[in-house]
Structure formats: structure tokens, C-alpha cells
């Protein structure tokens, strides 16, 4: 099989439609894209592409949302060999964090029931998706980007610096392509390169993983038009005071949790980072209907992270996280 140049695929995929940046910003984004593209062909990444690269291109209009699942190829009739390669490609990409998805009849039950979260998010974002230039910062395996397409945006740029997630995008493009979608190997710290460009930004499940959360919010603000809308979902802690939990070495068994704010602290963080009209919409504990281990998850999940005797605490004894939903607008 001819080697696939994933760096070239990445450089070529960015849509012209909707992405009309001023010259300086366009050059900055292009330069960073070129720099990041070289990472994709590393032998380390073979685990993600080894079977997906063997699949033919089935591209058509065979994409839909049904019962909360993003579905590709419902009308395809794959032969036994193609079915085996497709299943292997999907299994290579474990663990599936966001979903559900379905590929040519193969149901992928992800760790998170992201359709539940999307219903909450839509209460904050509607009707503002139509006609917008959107950034999905921390887009993971692109579930929410395909849900955004239902509402006719001009452009959706998914930003995710982890190379692995490009290969979900690559696999999906075997089934369906849309010129309004772009995937960038960018993190939140790179967003300021765009200048004040986006009309709507989704920032979900990221803030508490940032060592410098205020800088992250400031970079989001720098990439947004004055008056643009931010929809944020993050982990936090209970309490009426204006404080953050800064855990020790681990929280929920992982080292990458940093600042977990109360709702009042989250509001202050947003207001001091360039946002106004901040509203905290919900703050509640997650249960096992929304996050749980499935056959498509080969790591631990929520049930392993909470104290089995008291699910209001983590296994380390900290308060269990609340999921907080907020909206704000870039200050004029």
C-alpha cells in the first residue's frame, strides 16, 4: 500500500469557504498549520491510522443524526473484508470519549452520552448557530461539530492539539465531507492567532485541564468578535463562596486537573478575562447514565473515580466535581 502523507492531507483540508482571514492572521494560521502537520506522520501515530488508511473512500451525502447518534454510511453495504477493516479501524481509536456514533451499521457507544450534554448546550446556543463562524475548542473526536452542522453554520473550526484526534476526522472523511468543517491541531493558546474572528465559541471540558485558566479565557476572547457568544462547560465544586479547588498530585486518579471553581468563582474568572453578561445556567453532579464504561472504552471511567462509599467525594477524598454550564459575551 502506498504510504499516506497525513501531513499533506491535514494541510489541504482547511476549507476556503467561510475562513476569510486578514492577510497577517491567515499567514500566522497557515504557518502554524505547516508546523503541526509534520507531527502526523510519526511512527508513534501508526496505531491510529493503520486500518483507517486501508479503507476506501465512501464519500457521499450519507450522514444524519438519529436518536442522538452521528451516523455515517447507513445505506452502505460493505463486504466482509471492508466490515473487518472498518471495525478494526474503530477499535484502533479506543477509547471513544464522545458519542454515540454509527459507521455503516457498527454502533459505537462512547464513554460520554454526549447527546445529553448537547441538549443542554443547545438551550444556551440557539438560535445563534445559524450563519455563524464557530470554534469548537477542545473538539475531541468531533461529535459536537457534526451536531452543529444541523443548524447551518457558515464555518466550524475544531481545535484539538492532540494528534490522535485528527485520525477520527480522517476516518469520518472516508464517509462524509463538508466544506464548512475544518480540523486544526491547535490548542486554546493558539486561538489568538485568528484575531477577532469567531462569532460563537464552544469551550467544553477544557478549562479545568489548563494550568493557566485566565490566560486560556483571554486567548478565547482575543479570537472572538466584540459581542460574540461564548458557551462554556467545565468541572467545578459546590459552594457559594468565590474559590477554586487546587488538588494535589491527582484528582479523579488523573494529574491533569488544576483549578476547579465554584460557580461564583467561574463568573469572576470570565468577567476578569474580557467577558460580560455572564450567566451560570446549571451546576450539578454527573451520574452513570451520562458517563460510564462501555465496550468502546479501554480505560477506567466515572465509577472508578468516585468513593464507592460516598459518591459525593472522589477516591482521593476531594469534593466530587459538578458540571457547570455558563454563557458569556465578548466585551464590546
Q: Are 33 and 184 in contact (CB under 8 A)?
A: yes
Q: What is the rounded CA–CA span in Å between residue 332 and residue 25?
A: 21
Among 190, 206, 199, smallest CA distance to 229 is for 199
Range with the poorest average pLDDT among 28-32, 70-74, 84-88: 28-32
**Biggest CA-to-CA distance, the chain:** 60
pTM for this one?
Answer: 0.95
Q: What is the rounded CA–CA span in Å between residue 74 and residue 3?
A: 29
Range with the poorest average pLDDT among 74-78, 167-171, 271-275: 74-78
| Cβ-Cβ contacts under 8 Å for 30 (sequence gap 6 or more) | none
| Cell (9 digits) for 267 | 463568573
SS3 288: coil
Is the predicted pLDDT of residue 279 greater than 80, yes or no? yes
Domain assignment of residue 140, yes or no = yes
Domain assignment of residue 60, yes or no = yes
Domain assignment of residue 96, yes or no = yes
Please write the tens of the pLDDT for every residue from 237-249: 999 999 999 999 9
Is the predicted pLDDT of residue 223 greater than 80, yes or no? yes
Domain count, the chain: 1
* pLDDT category of residue 20 using cuts at 50, 70 and 90: confident
Per this entry, what is the length of the chain? 332
Give the pLDDT score at 17. Answer: 60
Give the alpha-carbon dihedral of 262, 267, 268, 272, to 10 degrees. Answer: 140
Domain assignment of residue 243, yes or no = yes
Domain assignment of residue 275, yes or no = yes
Is the predicted pLDDT of residue 14 greater than 70, yes or no? no
Query: What domain range includes position 232?
Result: 6-330
Please write the tens of the pLDDT for every residue from 93-125: 999 999 999 999 999 999 999 999 999 998 887
* pLDDT category of residue 288 using cuts at 50, 70 and 90: confident
Is the predicted pLDDT of residue 277 greater than 80, yes or no? yes
Domain assignment of residue 265, yes or no = yes
CATH of the domain at 255: 3.40.50.150
Domain assignment of residue 281, yes or no = yes
Instruction: Count CA atoms closer than 13 A to 272's CA, side-chain side.
Output: 9
| Cell (9 digits) for 227 | 459581542
Domain assignment of residue 1, yes or no = no
Mean pLDDT confidence for 193-211:
96
Amino acid at each position: 500500500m502506498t504510504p499516506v502523507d497525513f501531513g499533506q492531507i491535514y494541510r489541504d483540508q482547511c476549507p476556503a469557504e467561510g475562513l476569510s482571514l486578514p492577510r497577517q492572521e491567515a499567514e500566522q494560521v497557515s504557518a502554524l498549520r505547516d508546523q503541526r502537520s509534520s507531527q502526523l506522520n510519526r511512527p508513534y501515530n501508526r496505531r491510529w491510522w493503520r486500518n483507517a488508511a486501508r479503507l476506501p473512500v465512501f464519500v457521499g451525502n450519507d450522514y444524519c443524526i438519529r436518536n442522538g447518534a452521528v451516523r455515517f454510511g447507513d445505506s452502505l453495504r460493505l463486504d466482509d473484508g471492508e466490515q473487518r477493516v472498518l471495525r478494526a479501524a474503530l477499535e484502533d481509536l479506543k477509547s471513544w470519549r464522545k458519542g454515540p456514533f454509527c459507521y455503516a451499521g457498527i454502533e459505537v457507544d462512547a464513554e460520554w452520552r454526549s447527546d445529553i450534554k448537547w441538549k443542554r448546550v443547545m438551550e444556551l446556543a440557539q438560535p445563534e448557530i445559524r450563519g455563524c463562524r464557530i470554534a469548537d475548542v477542545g473538539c475531541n473526536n468531533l461529535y459536537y461539530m457534526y451536531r452543529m452542522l444541523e443548524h447551518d453554520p457558515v464555518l466550524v473550526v475544531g481545535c484539538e492539539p492532540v494528534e490522535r484526534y485528527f485520525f477520527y476526522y480522517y476516518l469520518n472523511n472516508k464517509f462524509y465531507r463538508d466544506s464548512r468543517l475544518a480540523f486544526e491541531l491547535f490548542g486554546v493558546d493558539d486561538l489568538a492567532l485568528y484575531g477577532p474572528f469567531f462569532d460563537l465559541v464552544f469551550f467544553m471540558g477544557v478549562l479545568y485541564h489548563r494550568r493557566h485558566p485566565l490566560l486560556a479565557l483571554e486567548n478565547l476572547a482575543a479570537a472572538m468578535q466584540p459581542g460574540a457568544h461564548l458557551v462554556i462547560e467545565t468541572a467545578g465544586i459546590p459552594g457559594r463562596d468565590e474559590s477554586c479547588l487546587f488538588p494535589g498530585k491527582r484528582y479523579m486518579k488523573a494529574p491533569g486537573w488544576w483549578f476547579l471553581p465554584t460557580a461564583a468563582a467561574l463568573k469572576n474568572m470570565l468577567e476578569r478575562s474580557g467577558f460580560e453578561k455572564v450567566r451560570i445556567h446549571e451546576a450539578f453532579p454527573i451520574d452513570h447514565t451520562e458517563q460510564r464504561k462501555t465496550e468502546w472504552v479501554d480505560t477506567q471511567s466515572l465509577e472508578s473515580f468516585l468513593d464507592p462509599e460516598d459518591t459525593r467525594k472522589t477516591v482521593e477524598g476531594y469534593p466530587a466535581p459538578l458540571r457547570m454550564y455558563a454563557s458569556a459575551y465578548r466585551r464590546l
